[in-house]
Amino acid sequence: MQPANLLLLTLVLAIVAYWLGYARSRSLAMPLGGIRHLKSLPFYYGARAALWSGIPALIVLGLWAAFQGKVIQLIVIGGLPDGMMPATEGEASLLLSKISNVASGALPPGFVEAPIAEAAERLKALRSQSQFLMSGLVISVAVLAGFLGWLRIRPRLNARAQVESILKWVFFACAALAILTTVGIIFSVAFETFRFFEKVPFTEFFFGSHWSPQTALRADQVASEGAFGMIPLFTGTLLISAIAMVVAVPVGLLSAIYLSEYAGRKVRGVVKPLLEMLAGIPTVVYGFFAALTVAPFISDLAASMGIEASSQSALAAGAVMGIMIIPFVSSLSDDVINAVPQAMRDGSLALGATQSETMKKVIFPAALPGIMGGILLAVSRAIGETMIVVMAAGLAANLTANPLETVTTVTVQIVTLLTGDQEFDSAKTLAAFALGAMLFLATLLLNVIALKIVRKYREQYD
Amino acid sequence: MNSVNTTIASEVTQPDEVAVPVQESKPAETIIEEGKTVGKPFSDDPKFKLRDVEVFYGDAPAIKKISLDIGRNEVIAFIGPSGCGKSTFLRCLNRMNDSIDICRVKGSLQLDDHDIYDPKRDVVELRARVGMVFQKPNPFPKSIYDNVAYGPRIHGLANRKSDLDEIVENSLRKAGLWEEVKDRLDANATGMSGGQQQRLCIARAIAVSPEVVLMDEPCSALDPIATAKVEELIAELSESYTIVIVTHSMQQAARVSHRTAYFHLGHLVEVNETNKVFTSPEHELTESYITGRFG
Amino acid sequence: MTDQRSQAEIVRQSLKRRYRKERRFRAYGILAIAIALGALLTLFTDIIGKGYTGFLKTTITMEVQLDGEMMYLDDPKDERQIKMADFVEPLVQALIKEVPGATEEDRKQIRELINPYASVALRDALKANPEWLDTSRTMTFLSHTDVDVYVKHAGDDAYSIKLNDQQKAWVDELQERGVIETSFNDVFFSGGDSRDPSKAGILGAIVGSLLTMFVTLILSFPIGVAAAIYLEEFAPQNKFTDFIEVNINNLAAVPSIIFGLLGLAVFINLFGMPRSVPVVGGLVLTLMTLPTIIISSRAAIKSVPPSIREAAEGIGASKMQVVLHHVLPLAMPGMLTGSIIGMAQALGETAPLLLIGMVAFIVDVPDGFFDSATVLPVQVFLWAGSPELAFIERASAAIMVLLAFLISMNALAIWMRKRLERRW
């Protein structure tokens, strides 16, 4: 049975368990003189039975579904004759994709070696066995646990307390998922990063000024070892983020100031949602706009002024990214500006200051820490932004500060290295994870600092 | 009908201006006649000449036809139950109500025979002449020095650093704060005690040498010792400034003011020499208030 | 009071300069807003200008002689014969007849006006209606993409017209006679991706997006709400709870591409799940949107006043009953609003899906959660990278569809906030 159908069946079984539990509690209560002699309402006895039946079954189902693929792969690979045993993980993944292609019928068995065709048959057989076993196990767990739960219904049983404590644990598990996600992120990038540093020296990655990750596919190919110096990526990312900030910070900040201090209610009511709309536009749309409209426009404009500009200039990607970040900066600044107490404004205005003097000399300095925090968050967003740069910035890792030249960024390289077919242990693929680790660390650091500043600022006026 | 008006008013003015139901035997309307004030509302040499002033929040009237003169170098106290409009009226005097969109002011308000609400009138200039001290001390989150120097700086009152230093020192001295803070002028003002903060705000207001200082319950957030110091300060300032003070405390009004004006539900009921108001009030409502029948 | 007098004079003199500054400052603010709104306007006009023609298709309507001899076909029910038969010839002949002055010599050029998939359409029509053999029928076919580009963008320098002058003259003539027409592009909404721009559609991507969003919604909403309830109502004040909160706040700001790396390393490499499928995409987007949903749900729970809780507790309800019976229903509109906004974000997300392989060229409309699929924003990305302007036109059109989805989701969220959210 398909996992999706099995999931539905488990839910149906849980509902059945609910009704059985409900009915049993009522029938137990009958001779005692009605349900008020039960410790809890019949609903809770039913819910308890449903949880007993559903939760263990769902856990079994989830674990099985998560690990069956990997286990089957290992068995299939292990069953190959000695001569075909893959030496590296890369070979293993190539072999596996071949086998699964044969199994799914995309590749006729006649085109491959006999052991692979056999392995494909084994793969098919194992898959159906696994599904069968999983279905059997999940259903029997659901029925058995549900039955046990049903059997133990007693009038003195405090079903409500039990149901509530189970639910509380379920809620806790959901909240703890956030930790699990962080741990998952750290492990998934950390492992591959360590393996990357086994192949490429630490110093080359951090201090090398040359990036060209194309390694030779075969040993006899001319292309030599790739170079993995991240400095050009780092500077490229910084260049584009800096251009984005030059656009976003003044525009975002000034529009927030205008909207909160000068604009009437009607203007605010129209302009604010429009600004927020900029934030809701998907990044792929900005990428499209940057690559196909802004970049050609900039290079034409530069050409007409006699300057040479790349058709994938850092300026185009940065400027469009800046537009994307405007609402981010303006809504954060709006929050902090509004958090400055009205008493400050009154104090300044009563002294005869104009609105702009009040803004520049009282409110802005008071709000500055909060605004700085917001800008740090915006920087972290800019360096992690992917689609705009993938579409509008180039792949050439130039070490330059000229905004009209092409640069590449960390995120562009991650996407380029990981899209398409890949061997999982080549330095090229691992480099993507190493870059991911750097990106994660950098954004994490910025976020932690920014959130701390913002929180401190809020406390000041609360 | 009046409770509606005052609730609306209290939403947009000061947070403590909550309408308190008036507990009295007779409805107020029967005793108050609109635009009629008993006592001595007028003076010979007025700084402010206010005639038939009305204030509306949206359509709801908050101040009803008040006429009053405020004399030169006089200290006048506004008293009255919460929500009676005394703060709203005070804020009209330097147009602090401008920033409230729905607030409209009608009538004639003149400062030295010039209309305050004249569209050509410059509000910045007006406020430089009519300073204000607020209920809660509101020092800017800057150094003590910068707080006092702020006004002179924006108005360009000092050409040299030494001039500015002098203005700061003089203002702090007048506010009786100089001895306490002269060694820590660079310290952040938010670290001072509440009483010191309020005196700093007064120093800040007088640093631009205004002609009038408006004080909106300046001691309501202070402890008794700090209050005593501020009151002392008001008495000293009265030699060179016109001071209008809104207060909740009748004792304070009695201690610091020359004349006292009693407000009730947007009406100015009685204005008289302070002594007279507190010993033999002319109006029945004033008497009820000062004897503590409501408030 | 000479002091006060002279000072008032100084103030008056400084006013002019200060008001100039005030006006300048205000103008900067207006300028900033104008820049932001100008960018928005430019973006929209650019995309609409590039893409509205994507909603049009160019067709050729002509009288086709379904001559069995010409097609080498005498029994349309025979699979083998159908496979071998020639369906191009009747189309070419029909069009030669429509073009005045065209002869057998011009067949190569004539053939270039017909879409390569037109013969497939003819075959399918004949398979469905075997009785049509040896009759003459008026049928409508897609034109070749080059004709489509010429008809829509004849004067536009950006587009390179691949037709020669002879072919251009024919197309002009045929357009005048109503043989070549443009109409609403239903192909765009009913097909999957294709190598031929005229045949390419977004249905596959839309279905992929819907499947992915379904997985995301059924996972992230209950989990997010449960987590929010735990943190707001049950979590003890301790280090561990603080740690959970720090994690959630940071995850909300982690770049989306990092979630793609997580999906690749955990779901695909560790669990051995297949690439390019909606389930994996949905799982990755779930992890990505959870922080948003948790944060907005917590705000919604916080806004329920304590008096409601106290009232329920006062009549002896347990903590869980208070939460499930009173707090949750009252907080639900706020939670839904936050979730819709989170889902809108997920719908527009591209980067993490690239890393888990949802970037493949997929012609078929996916038929399940484990079928290879792509999503709407990725489809835009794929087409936008194509050198053919006809694909760029479709990418713009796809963007308009995507934006229409997003705008209606956000409008729904705003409407719900206005209508359903209670003010305390």
- Residue C41 to residue C377: CA distance in whole angstroms: 21
pLDDT category at B17 given cuts 50, 70, 90 is very low
- pLDDT for A223 equals 47
**Cα Rg, chain A, nearest whole Å:** 31
- pLDDT for A383 equals 93
- Average pLDDT on B260-284 reads 90
- Average pLDDT on C77-101 reads 84
Note whether C7 contacts B211, CB cutoff 8 Å: no
C23 touches chain B (CB under 8 A): no
- pLDDT for B38 equals 84
Report residue A344: phi and psi, to 5°.
-65, -45
What is chain B's mean pLDDT, rounded?
83
* Cβ atoms of residues B290 and B281 within 8 Å: yes
What is chain C's mean pLDDT, rounded?
88
- pLDDT for C124 equals 87
Closest approach of C335 to chain B, Cα-based (Å): 30
Q: How many CB pairs under 8 A join A and C?
A: 273
- Average pLDDT on A54-75 reads 86
**Looking at the domain assignment, is residue C67 inside a domain?**
yes
Closest approach of B224 to chain A, Cα-based (Å): 23
Query: Which residues of chain B make contact with A352, given a CB cutoff of 8 A?
Result: 124-129, 131, 151, 154-155, 208
Closest by CA to C340, choosing from C404, C402, C417, C250, is C417
Nearest to B128 among A344, A352, A365 (CB): A352
Instruction: Identify from B111, B153, B155 which residue to disrupt to test chain C contact, counting C C-beta atoms within 10 A and taking the largest count.
Output: B155
Closest approach of A199 to chain B, Cα-based (Å): 55
C58, C166: one domain: yes
C155, C88: one domain: yes
Confidence check: pLDDT of A43 > 90: no
Give residue C247's domain range: 203-420
C238, C384: one domain: yes
pLDDT digits (tens, 9 = 90+) for C237-289: 889 998 998 889 889 889 999 999 999 988 888 887 888 889 999 999 999 99
Q: Where are the alpha helices (DSSP H) in C64-114?
A: 68-71, 79-84, 88-98, 107-111
Closest approach of A227 to chain C, Cα-based (Å): 22
Confidence check: pLDDT of B189 > 70: yes
pLDDT category at A425 given cuts 50, 70, 90 is low
Chain C: partners with 3+ C-beta pairs within 8 Å: A, B
Maximal CA-CA distance, chain B: 63
- Average pLDDT on A332-341 reads 88
Nearest to A362 among B94, B124, B140 (CB): B140
- CA C254 to chain CA centroid, Å, is 24
For residue B5, what are the CA distances in angstroms to A61, B11, B20, B80?
66, 10, 12, 16
- pLDDT for B31 equals 67
Nearest to B129 among C8, C14, C15 (CB): C8
C255, C363: one domain: yes
- pLDDT for B7 equals 36
pLDDT digits (tens, 9 = 90+) for C155-205: 777 777 888 888 888 888 888 888 888 899 998 998 888 888 888 999 999
Confidence check: pLDDT of B181 > 50: yes
Note whether C7 contacts B157, CB cutoff 8 Å: yes
- Residue B68 to residue B74: CA distance in whole angstroms: 13
The two tokens of residue A283 are: 């990044």
Percent above pLDDT 70 for chain A: 94
- pLDDT for A421 equals 59
C249, C103: one domain: no
Query: Which residues of chain C make contact with A174, given a CB cutoff of 8 A?
Result: 222-224, 226-227, 230
Note whether A282 contacts C406, CB cutoff 8 Å: yes
What is chain A's mean pLDDT, rounded?
86
- Please report the domains of chain A, with CATH numbers, ordered by start residue: 3-157 (no CATH), 227-461 (1.10.3720.10)
pLDDT category at C311 given cuts 50, 70, 90 is confident
**Looking at the domain assignment, is residue C342 inside a domain?**
yes
What is the number of domains present in chain C?
2
* Cβ atoms of residues A393 and A236 within 8 Å: yes
The three-class DSSP label of residue B271 is strand
pLDDT digits (tens, 9 = 90+) for C326-346: 899 889 988 998 899 999 999
C317, C232: one domain: yes
Query: Which residues of chain C make contact with B129, given a CB cutoff of 8 A?
Result: 4, 8, 11
Note whether A350 contacts B140, CB cutoff 8 Å: no
Closest approach of C15 to chain B, Cα-based (Å): 8
- pLDDT for C404 equals 95
C289 vs A401: which has the higher pLDDT:
C289
**Looking at the domain assignment, is residue C32 inside a domain?**
no
- pLDDT for B13 equals 39
Confidence check: pLDDT of B2 > 70: no
- Average pLDDT on A280-301 reads 93
Nearest to A352 among B136, B151, B201 (CB): B151
Note whether B204 contacts A344, CB cutoff 8 Å: no
The three-class DSSP label of residue C370 is coil
Nearest to B96 among A346, A353, A361 (CB): A346
**Looking at the domain assignment, is residue C2 inside a domain?**
no
- Average pLDDT on A406-423 reads 83
Note whether B154 contacts C18, CB cutoff 8 Å: yes
Q: The tokens 């793969």 sit on which residue?
A: A123
- pLDDT for C421 equals 62
Closest approach of B4 to chain A, Cα-based (Å): 24
- Average pLDDT on C206-234 reads 94
pLDDT digits (tens, 9 = 90+) for B68-106: 999 988 999 999 888 888 889 999 998 888 877 788 898
- pLDDT for A240 equals 95
Note whether B125 contacts C11, CB cutoff 8 Å: yes
Instruction: Identify from C3, C9, C11, C23 which residue to disrupt to test chain B contact, counting B C-beta atoms within 10 A and taking the largest count.
Output: C11
Closest approach of A267 to chain C, Cα-based (Å): 11
- pLDDT for C214 equals 95
- Average pLDDT on A334-356 reads 89
Chain B: partners with 3+ C-beta pairs within 8 Å: A, C
Note whether C255 contacts A355, CB cutoff 8 Å: no
- Residue B114 to residue B130: CA distance in whole angstroms: 13
Percent above pLDDT 70 for chain B: 88
**Looking at the domain assignment, is residue C412 inside a domain?**
yes
pLDDT category at A461 given cuts 50, 70, 90 is low
- Average pLDDT on A270-292 reads 92
- pLDDT for B21 equals 44
Q: Residues of B near C (CB-CB distance < 8 A)?
A: 122, 124-125, 128-129, 154-157, 208-211, 240
**Looking at the domain assignment, is residue C64 inside a domain?**
yes
pLDDT digits (tens, 9 = 90+) for A428-460: 888 899 999 999 999 999 988 988 888 777 776
**Looking at the domain assignment, is residue C195 inside a domain?**
no
Q: Identify the CATH number of the domain in which residue C299 sits.
A: 1.10.3720.10
| Topology of domain B2-116+211-290, CATH | Rossmann fold (3.40.50)
C138, C214: one domain: no
pLDDT digits (tens, 9 = 90+) for A12-27: 999 999 999 888 888 8
Closest approach of A251 to chain C, Cα-based (Å): 5
**Looking at the domain assignment, is residue C313 inside a domain?**
yes
Any bridge partners for residue B245, and if so which? Answer: B77, B215
pLDDT category at A242 given cuts 50, 70, 90 is very high
